[in-house]
Chain A
Amino acid sequence: MGLNTLQIGSAIAVAVLAGMANADEVRVYNWSDYIDEALLEKFEQETGIDLIYDVFDSNEILETKMLAGGSGYDVVVPTGTFLQRQITAGAFQPLDMSLLPNAVNIWDVISSRTAQYDPGNAYSINYMWGTTGIGVNVGKVQEVLGPDAPINSLALIFDPANMEKLAECGVHVLDAPTEMIPAALKYIGEDPDSQDPDVIALAEPVLAAVQPYILKFHSSEYINALANGDICVAFGWSGDILQAQARAIEAENGVEIVYNAPVEGALMWFDQMAIPVDAPNPEAAHAFLNFILDAQNMADASNYVFYANGNLASQELLLDEVINDPAIYPDAATLANLYTTTPYDARVQRVVTRLWTRIKSGT
């Protein structure tokens, strides 16, 4: 009986949302600070479709909405590993390639990698991709660790001897076990994509040893904190750290931020645009994806957010400081050194979450 009520309830919610979504409306759910808003206006002008743009700040929030069903969104942007799991759960509809003529612009280097999460790229297109690595305030770190500070090595974050000194000037790391555990495993030479709870457990002592020196586990505060000089090291996402760099330059506060993908190897991730299976307006959703696949639009987006994209044709339209920055578009050697991860199943995920709680809270 309880379930019945739930089903009726969600059916009503879907019906209401569907009823509200008229033919000329598309609802997009994307990460926060992740697009040039001028593009949103341009889309409305070009297509005459009303665009409703909402943002989220964690894959978990998005995934819960997708798995609950009836989200009312037409386009959502999960990261590869999350996308893969949601495809298995039946959350997305296959793309109709006949509605995406701009798909000719797709860069095969990226699409061959995203096929790992979305076989044949049947359900998604790449929006942006990047690496997870180390952002440092060069002046402060060299002051603490000397001129030879290993600012491009995982040893900066995972060697307690370094961290003990860096604690003076402040270190933030991502509050995301799916990022931090692979990095810790990479540091000790284990397989960062291991699904074996015994191997994953090896990451715990590595993280626990440096935990006392970490000021905060947070996945977005480090942008401002780095830019203001409140902290000297952040382990975070490439584009976010580059945004901090840009803000510091803009503020002319003498803070010099540098991003490095660790030489030991960096996690490479892909944010993919997909259409929920119950999207009220799939046709408009395809129109939006096609708009995003346009070379000029994609270039504008990357020039604004400092992330690389999966659009080959857009590359000649990118600013020099974007296409020629190895922190955004890594050179061939770095690219070969990047690794990807696959989603944990429910049992392993529980082990990972528990381990993360233990590391953060000591309980």
Chain B
Amino acid sequence: MDLRRTFLIFVPFAWLLLLFLIPFGIVLKISLSDIALSIPPYTPQLDLSAGWSGIVEYFQALDLENYVFLTQDNLYFLAYMSSVQIAFISMVITLIVGYPIAYGMAKAPDHWRPTLMMLVILPFWTSFLIRVYAWMGILSQEGFLNQFLLWIGIIDTPLTILNTNWAVYIGIVYTYLPFMILPIYAALEKMDGSLMEAAEDLGCSQTSAFWLVTFPLSRPGVIAGCFLVFIPALGEVVIPSLLGGSQTLMIGKVLWEEFFSNRDWPVASAVAVILLLILVIPIVLFQRNEQKQREAGR
């Protein structure tokens, strides 16, 4: 019995160690190294043949120089801020678009739900990259959208959408919408319909019943959806490179340039570590808040 419990605890910890902590340790270690022209392109390398003194020397060569560098050039700060802004606005739009869809799905007759669910998941059957390329075809100057708008006469000259931040927002909202819909749907579907009836019996209008009963009950789904959209959107690199213009500044692109153009793995790793810290802080705050609420509710 005890063995089984140990095993059950061990599995998630092993998972965390193998797929998160070890890779993070490697990145952290590289971020403390210095750039070098060698394979791999950073120094120092751990030389175990030198024994204990080799290990000591190795750790002495690590320093925070790359982190200091990040503060000296405003590019990194601007890129982080611009990424946070793009990810946050995209998250809000996804929520505004996704919530009614999830609500509609949860209220739909039982026999429709599998079909509706299927429609939400269906785009995943096509490669993400191909779907982003399809958007390039839709949004370009000669694309479907402009041709359609010209045809119905709303505009006289084609709109420039591709290679601007607008296209980045469209791409992110489109790509991450299912991640918002599914957790909200899961929360709403579990909801007991009689709660709404009770609210109305007690004199609530439909609108206020929604805000007083339905929305608070779906809150865990909303929060999960927001995290699922915000976190990957913050580090997004494919969408801004393909749909964005040269003025689109996102940390994913900066990271790419550090890694590929500058060949500076240590600075690229420092950028990645900071990105992770930016993500960890709101998650920790959120969890602390949840815990407080749970304690207060007791």
- The answer to the question of A332 belonging to the interface, with a C-beta cut-off of 8 Å to chain B, is no
Contact of B40 among A68, A353, A360 (CB under 8 A): A68
Contact of B41 among A4, A89, A175 (CB under 8 A): A89
Chain B interface residue count: which class? Answer: 20 to 34
- The answer to the question of B174 belonging to the interface, with a C-beta cut-off of 8 Å to chain A, is no
Closest to B22 in A: A5
- The answer to the question of B154 belonging to the interface, with a C-beta cut-off of 8 Å to chain A, is no
24-67 of chain B: CB within 8 A of chain A: 25-26, 28-29, 35, 37-41, 45-46, 48
- The answer to the question of B263 belonging to the interface, with a C-beta cut-off of 8 Å to chain A, is yes
CA distance A237 to B210 in the complex (A): 62
A346 to chain B: which residues have CB within 8 Å? Answer: 35, 37, 262-264
Is the pair B28, A2 in contact by a Cβ cutoff of 8 Å?
Answer: yes
**Chain B: minimal CB distance from A228 (Å):** 10
**Chain A: minimal CB distance from B246 (Å):** 4
**Chain A: minimal CB distance from B264 (Å):** 7
Q: How many residue pairs at the A-B interface have CB separations less than 8 Å?
A: 82
**Chain A: minimal CB distance from B2 (Å):** 30
Contact of B262 among A69, A277, A349 (CB under 8 A): A349
Query: Which listed segment binds B: A40-48, A58-66, A186-194, A199-207?
Result: A58-66
Closest to B35 in A: A346
CA distance A352 to B112 in the complex (A): 58
B247 to chain A: which residues have CB within 8 Å? Answer: 360-363
- The answer to the question of A165 belonging to the interface, with a C-beta cut-off of 8 Å to chain B, is no
Query: Which listed segment binds A: B88-96, B253-261, B280-288?
Result: B253-261
Contact of A85 among B37, B46, B259 (CB under 8 A): B37
Closest to A85 in B: B37
Is the pair B262, A217 in contact by a Cβ cutoff of 8 Å?
Answer: no
A68 to chain B: which residues have CB within 8 Å? Answer: 39-40
B264 to chain A: which residues have CB within 8 Å? Answer: 346, 350
Closest to B248 in A: A361
Is the pair B263, A361 in contact by a Cβ cutoff of 8 Å?
Answer: no
Is the pair A357, B257 in contact by a Cβ cutoff of 8 Å?
Answer: yes
Q: A3-B45, A362-B247, A363-B75 are in contact. Are A64 and B260 (CB under 8 A)?
A: yes
Closest to A216 in B: B163
For B236-277 the 0/1 string (1 means CB < 8 A from A) is: 000000000011110000100101111110000000000000
Chain A interface residue count: which class? Answer: 35 or more
Closest to B41 in A: A67
- The answer to the question of A333 belonging to the interface, with a C-beta cut-off of 8 Å to chain B, is no
CA distance A307 to B247 in the complex (A): 33
- The answer to the question of A328 belonging to the interface, with a C-beta cut-off of 8 Å to chain B, is no
Q: A69-B40, A353-B257 are in contact. Are A2 and B262 (CB under 8 A)?
A: no
Is the pair A2, B246 in contact by a Cβ cutoff of 8 Å?
Answer: no
153-203 of chain B: CB within 8 A of chain A: 163
CA distance A314 to B67 in the complex (A): 54
B259 to chain A: which residues have CB within 8 Å? Answer: 64
CA distance A6 to B39 in the complex (A): 13
Contact of B38 among A58, A89, A217 (CB under 8 A): A89
B38 to chain A: which residues have CB within 8 Å? Answer: 67, 89-90
For A165-181 the 0/1 string (1 means CB < 8 A from B) is: 00000000001010000
CA distance A353 to B163 in the complex (A): 21
Tell me which of A3, A88, A350 has the highest count of chain B C-beta atoms within 10 A of its own C-beta.
A3
CA distance A217 to B246 in the complex (A): 7
A177 to chain B: which residues have CB within 8 Å? Answer: 261
- The answer to the question of A327 belonging to the interface, with a C-beta cut-off of 8 Å to chain B, is no
A353 to chain B: which residues have CB within 8 Å? Answer: 257, 261-262
Is the pair B261, A363 in contact by a Cβ cutoff of 8 Å?
Answer: no
Known: A2-B28, A175-B246, A216-B246. 19 other contacts (CB 8 A): A3-B29, A3-B45, A3-B46, A4-B46, A6-B26, A61-B260, A67-B38, A68-B39, A91-B39, A177-B261, A349-B261, A349-B262, A349-B263, A353-B257, A357-B75, A357-B254, A361-B247, A363-B247, A363-B249
Q: Could you list 25 examples of A-B contacts with CB < 8 Å?
A: A2-B22, A2-B25, A2-B26, A3-B26, A4-B48, A58-B260, A64-B259, A64-B260, A64-B263, A89-B38, A89-B39, A90-B38, A91-B39, A175-B246, A217-B246, A346-B263, A346-B264, A353-B257, A353-B261, A354-B73, A357-B254, A360-B247, A362-B247, A363-B75, A363-B249
Residue positions of A touching B, CB distance < 8 A: 1-6, 58, 60-61, 63-64, 66-69, 85, 88-91, 175, 177, 216-217, 277, 346, 349-350, 353-354, 356-357, 360-363
- 9 nearest CB pairs, A to B: A360-B246, A60-B260, A2-B25, A2-B26, A2-B29, A67-B41, A69-B39, A3-B46, A353-B261
